[in-house]
Amino acid sequence: MKVGILGGGQLGRMLLQQSANFVVETYVLENDEHCPAAHLCHHFTKGSIRDFDTVYNFGKHLDAITIEIEDVNIEALEKLESEGVKIYPKPAALKIIKNKILQKQFYVSNEIPSPEFIIAQNKNDVIVNNHFLPAVHKLAEGGYDGKGVEILKEENDFERAFDAPSVLEKMVKIKKEIAIIVAMSDAGETVTFPAAEMHADPVLNLLDYQLSPAILPEKLLWKSEAIALAVLNGLKSPGLFAVELFIDFDDNVWVNETAPRVHNSGHHTIEANYSSQYDMLWRVILGYPLGNTNAILPSAIVNLIGVDGFFGKAKYDGLNDVLKMENVFVHLYGKTQTKPGRKMGHVTIVSSDYQELRYKANKIKNTLKVISE
């Protein structure tokens, strides 16, 4: 089977690492021939994943295509789908998720709880709705990993508002942020992975560390899983999705966003679960039975982020010390150049003791630094 991946970043890299366990011929389309996934696929094509002709010509001889980032040419995928190429997720689902306005409207029409919002076409639409503050301002398209998102707490913050189609979302007082990865086969069978709880870096607006399975009362966990499955069933698409959820102080559960692909919140599944998110997506694409999502052991993830003030050839200061630690798994993404805030790798820790997970996560954060030579 010939399977293409649109995008060649670290998610594509880890998906390709898992592909070695299956009989599959892999193709990658990406503008950067030095991207993390380039040397792991059977066939690499340099080109834009946003260009109609490039995506169409890349995919027309393939059996299936998946993505590792949402910002792709959906019209080309629609044409390929009409010609018999299987697309994971379906272009119709991707179109909803790619645009945050459509995504929010999808939640409303499917009665899925999501924070109250206002649609803005320009900066003035935001300013005239000052009564809505504090709010989270999200670009309709193009945002990724904390980019395209601004926190607006007071009128002085309006200078940072986007002058483009966007969503102004009422800020939720968050007690806990979790993510649940769900998958659906072509036959409509579904599975859910144990929830992961996120602890964010307030400056970079990126994941600081996470724990899985999340520590939640059983009733709240069931509620969260039911909402994640409602998103999946509403999208009516086979594939793998990460549903990001907020839990407020009244134990209400709100959908923040959905990612239609393998996700940062599922990296730990490589070592910590019987079937990883990458294994699961290959099972969906290749038509195999869905895997066992149960955790082998609880786990934590620490992101390796380029340190502020360092640019150029990456150096992993403290790497040897971390590699000496027990039950710790280092994943470097093969990016030669670092810059502040760039995702350069992650570290997974497994242990039956949550206190040990937190201790080691903090120790790794303070030990392993991505700087430059």
Instruction: State yes or no: pLDDT of 294 exceeds 90.
Output: yes
Share of the chain above pLDDT 70, in %: 97
- Pairing label, strands 166-170, 174-184: unpaired
Mean pLDDT of the chain: 96
127, 104 in Cβ contact below 8 A? no
Task: State which amino acid sits at residue 107.
Answer: Y
Supply the CATH classification number for the domain 2-88: 3.40.50.20
Supply the CATH classification number for the domain 116-170: 3.30.1490.20
- Homologous superfamily, domain 174-372: ATP-grasp fold, B domain (3.30.470.20)
pLDDT at 206: 62
d(Cα 168, Cα 186) in Å, to the nearest integer?
35
147 confidence band (pLDDT: 50, 70, 90) = confident
Mean pLDDT of 348-361: 97
Fold matches, 2-88 and 116-170? no
- The residue ranges of every structural domain in the chain are 2-88, 116-170, 174-372
Per residue in 307-343, pLDDT tens? 999 999 999 999 999 999 999 999 999 999 999 989 9
201 confidence band (pLDDT: 50, 70, 90) = low
**What's the predicted TM-score (pTM) here?**
0.95
pLDDT at 143: 72
Per residue in 25-71, pLDDT tens? 999 999 999 999 999 999 999 999 999 999 999 999 999 999 999 99
